[in-house]
Structure 1
């Protein structure tokens, strides 16, 4: 029978051993919900401008026009010779990098979720590399 090893609690300086699938020991379980609440409130404040933008009619119209222009096909898949239905409209140059291009049709391209997620991961990695 395979035994799953124990690990230390994620709380700094806590040496309690817990099940490998757990994050915190019983004494520090409250920290798991606290960190999520803190993250959510921080993100809510930080991203409020972007959330407001994505809820506006101007964005919904620009998104719709972009989908129509590209026949609702994922442009990244199309470049690779595949025909895939697009699920999202992506900003080629991120909003954080150039707010003025937020509704520019030349900066919008329809993507499927798979391609959009790949692009997002690459952008985050590049952004983190440029921080240091």
Structure 2
């Protein structure tokens, strides 16, 4: 049995099947209603994005500068160079013999740990979503990056195969 609901037109008690909101008699209002819902969603998304950016992402001046780098032309060129060099394939999966398409470019040594490497193309690797999540967790444990963590004084590792081995040892990959 299909799900139904009452027509949204005032004082109309006709039942309509999902996903419609108006009955056949008032169906001309459907497009207008859907457009108003989209406008509302776009407006409220900005509130969420603003809160995320001001509270979480840009929580201090150092983070603000770090993320502003990702909006520069320099980063755009470095990113494109890395994607073409690695043929849009995840470098971390490739080490394990798996071919995974990817469009994210990641700093091998996080710029939070060593900011001097942020514009070094040799410190960039293409990474898929699952590897990026696992690597972020590993970085937080090894380097002490991330919110609420304290940076460790450890030796930076800039070798992708070595990082994959360390991630596997800790069960993060």
Q: TM-score range by the shorter chain?
A: 0.5 to 0.7
**Structure 2 counterpart of 1:41:** 55
Report the RMSD for the aligned CA atoms in angstroms. Answer: 2.3
Deviation at 1:41, TM superposition (A): 2.9
Structure 2 counterpart of 1:124, from 129, 140, 160:
140
Question: If the length of structure 2 is used for normalisation, what is the TM-score?
Answer: 0.50
Q: Residue 56 in 1 paired to residue 72 in 2?
A: yes
> Runs of 5+ in structure 1 lacking a partner?
1-36
Distance 1:90 1:65 in 2: 13
Q: Residue 98 in 1 paired to residue 114 in 2?
A: yes
Structure 2 counterpart of 1:75, from 86, 91, 95:
91
Assess, with a 3 A threshold, how the Cα gap between structure 1 residues 43 and 75 changes in structure 2: closer, same or farther: closer
Aligned residues: 95
- Higher Cα Rg, which structure: 2
Q: Deviations over 1:84-122 (max 9, x none)?
A: 011211101111121121111110000001101100011
Structure 1 counterpart of 2:124, from 76, 96, 108:
108
